[in-house]
Structure 1
């Protein structure tokens, strides 16, 4: 069973891993046999090593994004979280896009994510 504080810690670690693209930080988020779905139509990526490789193959430029997420519901091993991802131009300040995010996360007893599902929607132009 996981609690809100543990989910928030995982989400904060997720953002740190995204900011650094450190393979060890990315890998520490997921179980060995985790399933990762970046959108509802994604066929999924299976296994921690494959998830790390996927992240590293699709990097965002450093300093061009910021994100904050928080849990909204926790039930047993499953959590739902929401938040926003904001992208900026190369200067790191010119707004480029804002996405609202929702995550359904299933955790293993050790606090690592065993199943990750994400939904995102881009804010209308001038929004966010």
Structure 2
């Protein structure tokens, strides 16, 4: 396993359980969570991240995600997340690691499918 794949496994577990201890296991106390790279401000700090994760989702997510590249401080994860009956998102995630392997900064880049031309 690699740092990024270990982190992704932890993320998927935390996403499924929504347990505060699982979220704390993957984000530092002062982590920044950017839902979009162009947001004015991130969700900042572990307590705010946990609170944001408790918001309802549009359904049960079906992720198909994998590590694309990584180095000592950055992991890039790509794939899709399907919310059956709602939407499928194409994702590229930046995971900036703290020395302990948790994310100090997380940035989501996601897209929805293009609508067919009329």
Same fold by TM-score greater than 0.5: yes
Deviation beyond 6 Å, 4+ runs, structure 1: none
Alpha-carbon offset, residue 97 of structure 1: 1.6
Q: Structure 2: any 5+ residue segments left out of the alignment?
A: none
**Contact kept in structure 2, 1:79 and 1:106, CA below 8 Å:** yes
Alignment deviations for residues 48-105 of structure 1 (CA, whole Å, 9 cap, x no partner): 111111111x22266x22112211111221111101100114xxxxxx3211100111
Return the match for 1:66 from 58, 62, 65. 62
> For 1:59, what is the secondary structure of its paired residue?
coil
CA distance in 2, matches of 1:115, 1:73: 16
> Aligned runs of 1:1-40 on 2, under 5 Å?
5-40=2-37
| Equivalent pair of 1:15/1:68 in contact (CA under 8 Å) | no
Paired residues of 1:21 and 1:59 also in contact (CA < 8 A): no
Say if 2:97 is the partner of 1:107: yes
Q: Is the 8 A contact 1:35 1:115 kept in 2?
A: yes
User: How far apart in 1 are the matches of 2:35 and 2:109?
Assistant: 7
Normalised TM-score (structure 1): 0.81
Is 1:45 matched up with 2:43? yes
1:19-72 residue CA offsets vs partner (Å, 9 max, x unmatched): 12111111211011111101122220111111111111x22266x221122111
Matched with 1:81 is 77
Unmatched runs of 5 consecutive residues or more in structure 1: 90-95
